[in-house]
Amino acid sequence: MIRIALQSKGRLNEESLELLAEVGIDIERGKRRLLARAELFPIEALYLRDDDIPHAVERGVADLGIVGLNEYEERRCGATVVHKLGFGRCRLSLAIPKGEEYEGIGYFNGKRIATSYPVILRKFLEEKNIKAEIEEIAGSVEIAPAVGMAEAIFDIVSSGGTLVSNGLKEVETAMHSEAVLIATPRLEPEKQALLNQLLFRIEAVERTRGKKYILMNIPTERLAEATGILPGIKSPTILPLAERGWSSLHAVVDERVLWEKIEQLKAIGAEDILVLTPEKMIL
């Protein structure tokens, strides 16, 4: 049995559980439960506050954890990042009142900056040779300039809507964050094997993101042109049809170029084109 720490609520909780469900691990989403066990995989979830997850994993209270990279870096955690998960994307940025003129990072010299991420901010300012006063507060950082607590803020930004609604503008980005899978140092062999199984499943799901499975009927004499358009992972799958002179061609295509490929294929005689969304891709 392996234990994974998950955020107890919020968007990262939902997206973490969705990912686990995609890899065949359904964990009960019961509220007010500290522990919940999966049925078809030897894993149990420990629900914690996001800022408690890094140290819980570091100390072995949980073997694994899914947490924002920003929280991992802020807690100076000794756990190991084993995989970036690609969801929960955001950035940590400096913001100032929208009426202020901004001509560069030197603006922050001598300023008070409110933040819930003093470690990351201090490192960023030191790298930029900026001397500023850091005002550490928890929650509602964006109101600090309006109430006179600070002249600027350093906080998580996703869409930027919260900054705008509080009369602020983003001027410098210190780091980009996303959800990461972390592990306690020196996992026991049995638990390392379970982690490897989990990573295998996650990577199979990730390979399908942004991909489409395309299949079509095409004149056999045009196959060489078609395979040049659709190279596939190794090469397209080609099957003969009962009707002489025709073949069926199957391939996986990047969604960004899907319509371009379809137009090229139709131009060389492809018919009955079917586009599907793959669920898993095992290499």
Decide whether 90-176 matches 211-276 in CATH topology: no
Long-range contacts of 185-188 (CB under 8 A, 24+ apart): 185/58, 185/78, 185/79, 185/80, 187/63
Beta strand residue intervals within the chain, DSSP E: 2-7, 35-37, 43-48, 64-68, 80-84, 90-97, 112-115, 133-136, 152-157, 168-177, 179-183, 211-219, 237-240, 246-254, 271-276
Fold for 211-276, please state it: Alpha-Beta Plaits (3.30.70)
Task: Tell me which CATH code domain 2-88+178-206 carries.
Answer: 3.40.190.10
Q: Coil, strand or helix: which one is 173?
A: strand
| pLDDT for residue 161 | 87
Token pair in block for residue 263? 């137009």
Residue identified by tokens 């996650």 is 202
Residue ranges, the chain, pLDDT below 70: 30-32, 231-234
pLDDT tens-place string over residues 194-227: 999 999 999 999 988 889 999 999 999 999 999 9
| pLDDT for residue 77 | 86
Domain boundaries, the chain: 2-88+178-206, 90-176, 211-276
Nearest to 36 by CA among 6, 16, 79: 6
Rounded to a whole number of angstroms, the CA Rg of the chain reads 25
| pLDDT for residue 233 | 63
Domain 90-176 has CATH 3.30.410.40: no
pLDDT tens-place string over residues 18-56: 999 999 999 877 666 788 989 889 999 999 999 999 999
Q: Amino acid identity of 201?
A: R
This prediction has a pTM of 0.85
